[in-house]
Chains A and B, each alone.
Chain A
Amino acid sequence: MTTVPATIPVALSTRRRVARRVLRNPLAVLGLVVVCVAMLAALLADFVAPFASDQVNFAEPLRPPSGTHIFGTDSLGRDQFSRAIFGLRASVAVGLLSVVLSLAVGVPFGLLAGFYGWLDPLVSRFTDTLLAFPFLVLAVGLAAILGPSLFTAVIAIGIAQIPRVVRVTRGETLRLRHMDFVAAAVAGGANDFVLLRRHILPNAINALIVQATVAVPGAIIGEAVLSFLGLGVRPPIPSLGIMLADAQADVQDGPWMAVFPGVTIVILTLALNLLGDGLRDALDPRESRS
């Protein structure tokens, strides 16, 4: 039992080194700052947003951007800036929940497929079957069954990401199970569950983090697409995708309605991608793109 405390400081110092490497990368820091600001804005939308997301004002319909309405207003006179801030909630919620869902399903399957060779073909058929349905076709089927909602968006995006999580986890497990420290743990009497939970999974975390940094921005765009098509979040819940769908009707008279929600999505996903690239470089110096 003396080995357990011995491993923790090592893990901590590795984590600190990774953090230091990320903080030395200016683009990654920029991404981190933008992501933190967006998360805070989404969380504190009630206090940050100048107007309520559903506050209709027929006196000021389709106003171009100005001092009071920096993103302009829509045909109902709703403040687009406030709606965008509230809309970030749906983006962040779907982005995180769908990735959590894909990890919760994908990691166990990946571990089992990598560890027990006989399970591998079964898991492969399972992921192949999921892969046979392109993301939007899957979402369409689910929206038909479950009805369009934030929940449907989470399920559809989460399921679509499962195969990638399975593949990454499986690959890591295959790589790790023949390593000396795993053999040592077996010699120490560890059973399969302990091997997977304490020795293989913690060492596969880095690869999974890298996978998640790609998945979260993808999921945020996925939410916007589904809500835009009417398959995801439904009004009155504000969403950047719904704002862009509303903009379609007034594209002649209020082009700003189509511009700002999109710019918000792009800045958020760009920031996440920059942060993700920085994390990837910090976690895996061999893969450094410089």
Chain B
Amino acid sequence: MGRYVLRRLLESAVTLILATIVVFLGIRALPGDPARTLAGEEGDNPAVIAAIRQSYGLDQPLPVQYVRYVQKAVTGDLGRSPRTGLPVAETIGHALPVTLQLAAFAMMVAILIGIGAGVIAAVRRRRPAEWGANAVALIGLSVPNFWFGQMVILGLAIAYPILPASGFVSIFENPVESFRHLLMPAVVLGSGLAAVIMRQTRSAMLDALTADYVRTARAKGLSGGQVIFGHALRNSLIVVITIVGLELGALISGAVVTEQLFVLPGFGKLTIDAVFTRDYPMIQGVVLVTASAYILINLAVDLLYSVIDPRIRVGGRAL
């Protein structure tokens, strides 16, 4: 156990360092003067260029610049956006709660629908319920979520205006309005994940339902519900943790699109806006924060996984 944790920690640290190098070099891969690039739309202002060159230490050799960059990033200094004049870290800090609330809500939707449909499809084998669940999952995988979002807006905000098409209300300010504003985005974001979870739950349940311990449980005289939920589903749940880890990147990507579609002032919208305004410090900051968070969450999922399933840490690397 200790050795496995240590190895995963080391691996994650190496990946994190490599990722910061990629982000650091990315901005320098741009043609032309990096100071001018970092200045964005202020690129013709010599005072801004000089200030950037000095604050970024662009006259120093690359490795020195890199170390300085990491030192600053670790202390939460990601530079300043030349567009807004505000610190990048502060802007990200404002946008993050929006994305986190959206992602948490979407995850709940995905888990509820995915596990529910997966269990039904496995228990009602070779019956219309299974075909229905399978068809929905296949369509869920084939429908791009941004288009699904457009259709939902068309239906529930324009044709039958039940829910607001855009905007964000924090759950801590007004839970009811927050729910109304986030319901559509969360369903849209969660739908793709739900399809993946459904497929995995179904196959894990099918395996479990034919396993010996389930037959034993049945032989002991437990009811169908007790066997399905107490035994088979419980052992299938490990799948969900794995999927959440594997699909986290898809969830982050999906959040970018969903926020753009529903005009939510979150992380994703910040990212896209930064590209169009050529706000390079902001892009650099956003990419760095996302990559670091992603690496750390994956590490957490892996460690959690090894706690739940001892085979992982004994058998070595899970594929």
Q: Is the CB of A266 within 8 A of B147?
A: yes
The answer to whether B147 and A262 have CB atoms under 8 Å apart is yes
B172 CB → nearest A CB, Å: 27
Q: How far is the CA of A128 from the CA of B249 in the complex (A)?
A: 12
* Distance (whole angstroms) from the CB of B294 to the closest CB of chain A: 6
Of A46-54, A98-106, A130-138, the one with at least 4 CB within 8 A of chain B: A130-138
The answer to whether A134 and B253 touch across the interface, beta carbons within 8 angstroms, is yes
Could you say which residues of chain B place their CB within 8 Å of the CB of A225?
144, 146, 253, 257
Q: Does A171 lie at the interface of the complex (its beta carbon under 8 Å from any beta carbon of B)?
A: yes
Stretch at the interface among B55-63, B76-84, B134-142, B229-237: B134-142
Whether A255 lies near B154 (C-beta < 8 A) is yes
For B147, what are the chain A residues with a Cβ–Cβ distance below 8 Å? 224, 244, 258, 261-262, 265-266
A residues 15-43 near B (Cβ < 8 Å) are none
What string of 1s and 0s marks CB contacts (under 8 Å) between A120-131 and chain B?
Answer: 000011001101
Q: Majority SS of interface residues in chain A?
A: helix
Q: Are B294 and A132 in contact (CB under 8 A)?
A: yes
| Segment with Cβ contacts to A, from B18-26, B45-53, B110-118, B183-191 | B18-26
With a CB–CB cut-off of 8 A, which chain B residues contact A229? Answer: 256-257, 260, 272
Say which residue of A129, A145, A248, A262 sits within 8 Å of B151 (CB atoms).
Answer: A262
Q: Quick check: B257 and A273 within 8 Å, CB to CB?
A: no
In the complex, whether B160 has a CB less than 8 A from a CB of chain A is no
Complex alpha-carbon distance, A131 and B252, angstroms:
13
Q: Which A residue's beta carbon lies closest to that of B199? A: A289
| B143 within 8 Å of A (CB atoms) | yes
The yes or no answer to B156 lying at the interface (CB within 8 A) is: no
**A134→B294 contact, CB < 8 A:** yes
Given contacts A132-B19, A145-B30, A273-B138, contact A140 B154 (CB under 8 A): no
- Name the contact of A244 in the complex, choosing from B150, B275, B290 (C-beta under 8 A): B150
How far is it, in angstroms, between the C-alpha of A259 and the C-alpha of B150 when the chains are bound?
8
A62 within 8 A of B: no
A32 to chain B, nearest CB (A): 16
Residue in A137, A258, A270 whose CB lies within 8 Å of B154: A258
> C-beta contact mask, A251-280 vs B, less than 8 Å → 1, else 0?
110010011011001100110011000000
B168 at the interface (CB under 8 A from A): no
* A131/B144 in contact, CB under 8 A: no
Bound CA span A134–B289, Å: 12
Known contacts A225-B257, A251-B153; is A144 also within 8 Å of B319 by CB?
no
Is B295 interfacial (CB-CB < 8 Å)? Answer: yes
- Known contacts A125-B15, A251-B153; A231 and B275 CB within 8 A of each other: yes
Contact across chains for A125 and B18 when beta carbons are under 8 A apart? yes
Interchain CB contact under 8 A, A167 and B257:
no
Residues of A within 8 A of B319 (CB): 167, 171
Are A129's CB and B15's CB within 8 A? yes
- Residues 13-38 of chain B: 1 if any A CB is under 8 Å from the residue's CB, otherwise 0? 01110110011001001100000000
Closest chain B residue, CB of each to CB of A138: B287
**Least distance between A29 CB and chain B CB atoms (Å):** 16
**Residue contact B290 to A145, C-beta cutoff 8 Å:** no
- B142 adjacent to A269 (CB under 8 Å): yes
Is B227 at the interface (CB under 8 A from chain A)?
no
**Contacting residues, chain B, for A273 (C-beta < 8 A):** 138, 141-142
Given A136-B257, A137-B287, A228-B257, are A255 and B252 also a contact pair (CB < 8 Å)?
no
Report the nearest A residue to B141, measured CB to CB. Answer: A273
In the assembled complex, the Cα of A225 lies from the Cα of B139 at a distance in Å of 17
A132 touches B150 (CB 8 A): no
Instruction: Give the distance in Å from the alpha carbon of A258 to the alpha carbon of B157 in the complex.
Output: 14
Q: B18 to chain A: which residues have CB within 8 Å?
A: 125, 128-129, 132
Chain B residues near A261 (CB-CB < 8 A): 147
Residues of B at the A interface (CB closer than 8 Å) are 11, 14-16, 18-19, 22-23, 26, 29-30, 138-139, 141-144, 146-147, 150-151, 153-154, 158-159, 248-250, 252-253, 256-257, 260, 268, 271-272, 274-276, 278, 280, 283, 286-287, 290-291, 294-295, 298, 319
Interface residues of A (CB under 8 A from B): 124-125, 128-129, 131-137, 140-141, 143-145, 148, 167, 171, 217, 221, 224-225, 228-231, 244, 247-248, 251-252, 255, 258-259, 261-262, 265-266, 269-270, 273-274
Closest 9 interchain pairs by CB?
A262-B147, A134-B249, A136-B253, A270-B142, A134-B252, A129-B18, A128-B15, A132-B291, A269-B142
